[in-house]
A = this chain, B = another copy of it.
Amino acid sequence: MSWNTFGRVLRFTTWGESHGPALGAVVDGCPPGLLLDEGAIQPFLDARKPGQSKFTTQRKEADLVRILSGVFEGPDGQQQTTGTPISLMIENTDQRSKDYSEIAKTYRPGHADYSYDAKYGFRDYRGGGRSSARETAARVAAGAVARLVLPEVQIIAYVAEIGGDAADAANFDAAEIAGNPFWCPDAAAAKRWAALVDDARKAGSSLGAVVECVATGVPAGWGAPVYAKLDADLAAAMMGINAVKGVEIGDGFGAARLTGEQNADPMRPGEDVPEFAANHAGGIAGGISTGQPVVVRVAFKPTSSILTPVETVDRDGNAAEVRTKGRHDPCVGIRGTPVVEAMMALVLADHKLLHRAQCG
Contact = CB atoms under 8 A, between A and B. Distances in A.
Interface in A264-287: 264-270, 274, 276-277, 280-282, 284-287
A4 B227 contact: yes
Interface in A83-109: 83-87, 89, 107, 109
A82 B358 CA distance: 11
Contact of A2 (B20, B248, B262, B358): B358
Interface string A316-342: 011100000000000001000000000
Contact of A311 (B206, B253, B266): B266
Given A118-B288, A130-B226, A268-B319, A356 B354 contact: no
Q: How many copies does the complex hold?
A: 4
Contacts of A115: 220-221, 223, 284-286, 288-290
Given A109-B264, A255-B302, A28 B4 contact: yes
A110 B281 contact: yes
Contact of A260 (B267, B303, B354): B303
Contacts of A228: 1, 3
Interface stretch (A5-13, A173-181, A182-190): A5-13
B227 A3 contact: yes
A345 interface: no
Contact of A261 (B163, B205, B224): B205
A122 B245 contact: no
A226 B33 contact: no
B247 A235 contact: yes
A208 interface: yes
Contacts of A240: 226-227, 229, 231-232, 235, 287
